[in-house]
Amino acid sequence: MLRFGPDDGPVVIASLPLFEEANRTRAFTVSILRSLADENIGSVLPDWPGTGESLIETRDARLLAMRAACEALVEQIARPAYAVGVRSGALIDASAPMDGRWHLSPVEGEAVLREMARTRPGIDVSTLMQATEAVELAGNLLSPAMLADLAGARVYDGEHVPQRVVRLESDPRTADLKLAGAPLWRRAEPGNDLALAKHLADDIAAWVRSCEG
Amino acid sequence: MRAVLGDVLGLSPARVAAFDAETPLFGALPELDSMAVASVLTELEDRLGILIEDDEVDGDMLETFGALTAFAASKARS
């Protein structure tokens, strides 16, 4: 787990996307969190169970376990907590008692499955749902339990907790803010965009401060 | 289409600007492997608000820049 910024005040709990997109967006997300630290907002980038440095094997990863770990972390930190989720990382904070959620280009679980299935010719989401053993997709072993978790996974959409959605200008879906930039999560070679990271950190910092009142 | 290929494959603006209808893609661009094809198709779906079925994806539509552009344009119109 990486930590940035001050040890008090509100804390941002960041979630990378699942699977390959995590590698593509890690450096970018770290740039955002470093910029947030410059603005005196602390953050953590946890390795959720089955991701990053976690000791749990990818084949045993469950979205529901990641959500449970996120809930536990918010309770343990005991500071005002704000989720920052990139792409499918937005699925991880859904059940945690967050004070607010900020999502960059969030996607639902079914879209994740569709994209993963597309990397294997002859496989689609309905074949994945019938799997009785782990399926390898784009270099990841996904258990039937993980596939089922993803199939029903939605981004939190309650009304009583502040939420902000940011997307790229090239994305026609609705958002609170749209910024110019390339979708780094699609790029095979991990890249970074320091100017976009700074813009996003400014937006997160202003939003967290407005939520804190 | 140029923007999608540039963004997904990490090609320079100059390189994608030089693409024409005859520019060969799949099998000719080393960056465009089967993983990247999945990314290109999904990004096209997102940007154009279209749905590309698996049985519509074949070697012909990916063969040249012109073929891929024509496919995307016909999907966006339908």
Residue B14 CB burial class (10 angstroms; 0-12, 13-18, ≥19): exposed
pLDDT tens-place string over residues A135-185: 999 889 999 999 999 999 999 988 889 999 999 999 999 999 999 999 999
Domain ranges of chain B: 2-77
Least CB-CB distance to A115: which of B7, B9, B42?
A: B42
CATH topology of domain B2-77: 1.10.1200
Q: What is the ipTM of this complex?
A: 0.85
- Reduced to 3 states (helix: H, G, I; strand: E, B; else coil), residue A23 is helix
| Domain A2-108+155-212 homologous superfamily, CATH | Alpha/Beta hydrolase fold, catalytic domain (3.40.50.1820)
Residue B54 Cα, gap to closest chain A Cα (Å): 8
pLDDT digit string, tens, across residues A117-147: 988 888 889 999 999 999 999 889 999 999 9
Residue B21 tokens, joined:
């209808």
Contacts of A121 in chain B (CB under 8 A): 34
Residue A89: pLDDT over 90: yes
Q: How many Å lie between the alpha carbon of A69 and the closest alpha carbon of chain B?
A: 30
B4-63 residues touching A, CB cutoff 8 A:
6-10, 31, 33-36, 38-39, 41-43, 46-47, 49, 54
Measured CA angle at A153 (ends A155, A132), to 5 deg: 165
Residue to test with chain A: of B54, B57, B58, most A Cβ within 10 A: B54
Give the mutation candidate from A118, A123, A184 for the B interface (greatest B CB count, under 10 A): A118
Contact check, Cβ <8 Å, B9/A188: yes
* Whether A114 and B49 lie within 8 Å, measured CB to CB: no
Instruction: State the DSSP string of A161-202.
Output: S-EEEEEETT--S--SEEE----GGG-SS----HHHHHHHHH
Residue B43 has its nearest CB partner, among A138, A183, A188, at A183
Interface touch B42/A118, C-beta < 8 Å: yes
Angle at B43 between CA A116 and CA A144, to 5 degrees: 15
Q: What is the pLDDT of residues A22-61, one digit of tens each?
A: 999 999 999 999 999 999 999 999 999 999 999 998 889 9
Residue-wise pLDDT for B58-73, tens only, equals 888 999 999 999 999 9
CB contact under 8 A, A186 and B39: yes
**Tokens matching residue A127:** 């074949």
Asked if residue A51 lies in contact with residue A20, where contact means CB atoms within 8 angstroms, the answer is no
